[in-house]
Chain A
Amino acid sequence: MKWRGRKIAAGVAEGEALVTKMGVSFYGGVDPQSGCIVEKGHELEGQSIAGKVLVFPTGKGSTVGSYTLYRLKKAGLAPAAIVNAEAEAITAVGCIIADIPCVDHIPIEAIRTGMKVRVDGGQGCVEAE
């Protein structure tokens, strides 16, 4: 499957998809020391986002979350790429400052956890198999 969405942050990356129907808050919701989702009651609670293509509808929470993505990247714990239904400012800015490819306007319900996904942020393209 291949889709063309909107370019949010440039760069090309591949990885295994980690998909959630819930929003993700990087500040407070992700532990910057382990790369694990720690938000109570989140469907990905306890799972690591490091190296994954993280697929979620939209970001939420504090704007400091942009810096959390940057910190994860520096620690080698950032997602390889991010795919959103609708990107918002926190995720978009975080991806740009951390050099994480990001594309939105993708029908994310078609992507399943474990699929191999390739994201081309510069072209706004997402491929899954």
Chain B
Amino acid sequence: MFKSKASKITGILLLSASMLLSACGKSDKETSGTAAKNALEQIKEKDKIVVGVKYDTRLFGLKNPSSGEVEGFDIDISKELAKDILGDEKKIEFKEVTSKTRIPMLNNGDIDMIVATMTISEERKKEVDFSDVYFQAGQSLLVKKGSPIKGLEDLKKGTKVLAVKGSTSAVNIREKAPETTVLEFENYTEAFTALKSGQGDALTTDDSILYGMVDQDSNYELVGGTFTDEPYGIAVKKGNKELVDAINSALKKMKDSGKYDEIKNKWIKSN
């Protein structure tokens, strides 16, 4: 995928093959030409950070239909990063990513960084570079109130657990409850819609995202506590130490000044 010839063809064929990348029309010449240049310099040159965020995840990145703005924890953190790196929180552009599209979009050069509830994992570290942990989540289960499922041990053969394609939670749940049927959806909205219409018995992902669903519909609750550690990191294209350092220093300043806690308390009210 990193070979320039392969990535050129990738750019052209992905469109027809999968409708995955809505914005892959970006010139490949430009991408391969600037890939050697350091990503931090590129950002400073164009005086704007393009951040891939979720548009469908309540509390983290959700598009507000009335204002048309994306709002959430990830958004506010990104704005603080822009403020620190470019001196103005408005020098930022958000692009929608899903768990499935975020790494290809980053590698294609459509976005400069991913701030999208993304868990740091060894496997992903082979594909991208991560910043320090900026949020600590854990995988849990969401069920309808009164469900017989009280925790992981109730996920038996024939139980249907809903997850999102490309998320670590889908992989984890297969390991922790190998007997159960896992159905994977495009995004959290679709997975939650499927849960609400009885297409599954439980929905699994990070507690942080599940709290957002409870916030939306109080007929659902989290059960069984968390059974994994999901440290969220900000991802940049592989081999961009300067940008990672800049992000880490911005994160540290945010934590020291109390701005981080302010943002966190604004969005995440549970525990």
Same complex for A and B? Answer: no
Q: Which residues of A contact B (CB under 8 A)?
A: none
